[in-house]
């Protein structure tokens, strides 16, 4: 049997890390707070002083202008003077300014017609001739067939076209008397074909004051391939 009075008490086991941190929290907290207080005091006590730069502007006093006690309106404009009345002159003109009597039922004769004879032969070279009514083409459908017939096959198959401007000398009856190249198409074969077609043109006579006159005119003769005549895909017709 064990005597309770002789039994010795066993040592208490040491606490855990969490318990040790709780026991040491109070000294660390107050020590840190004291150190921070001392540090802030030293910073504010020994830190160099700072001042704000003066960025203000100089102010000047604006004088107050006192308005006048009485404001007078401007003077009214002078009245508009009435125009002077016309005065009939007593002096008479020295010369007679009356117009001669004119009978509207008997007007003066028209200017004379152009002379029949023209200096030189105008068919030798293109020259200007006075006319009022331009000669127009009478056989357009026949000329279209002639263009297709006289088109050189080599140029048509190769897709080569061109425009030749041709001089036409037209007599008083509208007949083509003479033709020559005015501006070349750039291809001799097309120019020769244009001259062959030009002799097939039929015109109405040019008129000058209701009188037929011989004239020189220039007309474009164009050779186009069928691809050029057909509208392109997507293009408006």
Is the pLDDT assigned to residue 234 strictly greater than 60? no
Per DSSP, helices labelled H in the chain are: 17-46, 140-150, 153-157, 188-198, 226-229
Q: Quote the pLDDT of residue 182.
A: 93
pTM (two decimals): 0.47
- Which residue ranges form the domains of the chain, and what is each CATH number? 140-225 (3.30.2420.10)
Minimum mean pLDDT range among 93-102, 207-216, 220-229? 93-102
Instruction: Give residue-wise pLDDT tens across range 132-170.
Output: 889 989 998 999 999 989 999 988 888 888 999 999 999
> Who has greater pLDDT, 106 or 113?
106
For the record, the structure tokens of 92 come out as: 């008479």
Is the pLDDT assigned to residue 89 strictly greater than 70? no
Mean pLDDT on 69-86:
80
Q: Quote the pLDDT of residue 115.
A: 54
| Contacts (Cβ under 8 Å, ≥6 apart) of 22 | none
Please say whether the dihedral angle defined by the alpha carbons of residues 126, 130, 136 and 139, taken in this order, is positive or negative: negative
């Amino acid at each position: 049997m064990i005597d309770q009075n002789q039994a010795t008490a066993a040592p208490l086991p040491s606490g855990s890390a969490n318990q040790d941190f709780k026991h040491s929290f109070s000294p660390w907290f107050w020590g840190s707070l004291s150190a921070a207080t001392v540090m802030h005091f030293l910073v504010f006590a020994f830190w160099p002083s700072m001042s704000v730069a003066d960025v203000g502007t100089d102010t000047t006093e604006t004088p107050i202008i006192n308005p006048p006690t009485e404001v007078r309106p401007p003077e009214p404009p002078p009245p508009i003077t009435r125009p002077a009345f016309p005065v009939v002159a007593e002096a008479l003109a020295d010369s007679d300014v009356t117009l001669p009597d004119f009978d509207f039922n008997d007007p003066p004769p028209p200017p004379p017609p152009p002379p029949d004879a023209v200096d030189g032969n105008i068919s030798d070279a293109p020259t200007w001739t006075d006319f009022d009514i331009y000669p127009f083409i009478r056989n357009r459908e026949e000329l279209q067939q002639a263009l297709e017939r006289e088109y050189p096959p080599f140029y048509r198959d190769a897709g080569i076209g061109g425009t030749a401007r041709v001089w036409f000398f037209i007599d008083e009856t509208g007949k083509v008397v003479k033709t020559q190249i005015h501006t070349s198409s750039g291809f001799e074969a097309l120019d020769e074909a244009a001259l062959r077609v030009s002799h097939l043109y039929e015109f109405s006579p040019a008129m000058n004051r209701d009188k037929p006159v011989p004239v020189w005119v220039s007309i474009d003769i164009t050779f186009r391939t069928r691809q050029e005549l057909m509208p392109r895909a997507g293009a408006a017709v």
